[in-house]
Amino acid sequence: MKNLKLHCLRMDRTLISSMTLLAVIITAALVHGHGGKNSDKFTQLQALQKATILYDQLIDKGKAEMHM
């Protein structure tokens, strides 16, 4: 009987630790994931336009080659 109580106590601690860790991971993913703090300020189209401009600048400077 004592071993059973000890086993249940260990399982409870493991379950609580696992649930706490899972909550921390999920919270961090939600806070820092896609669509986080400034999702409405920088759209995917704007990101593509910015990348295109930067790529063109690299080609002009000779640091990148244009592949077709």
Give me the number of domains the chain comprises: 2
SS3 assignment for the chain: CHHHHHHHHHHHHHHHHHHHHHHHHHHHHHHHCCCCCCCCCCCHHHHHHHHHHHHHHHHHHCCCCCCC
Same domain, 66 and 53: yes
Domain of 6 in residue numbering reads as 1-33
For the question of whether the overall pTM of this predicted structure is more than 0.85, the answer is no
CA distance 59 to 51: 12
Residues 11 and 29 in one domain: yes
**3-47 confidence digits (pLDDT tens):** 777 667 677 778 777 778 888 788 777 776 665 455 556 678 888
User: Confidence class of residue 66 from pLDDT cuts 50, 70 and 90?
Assistant: low
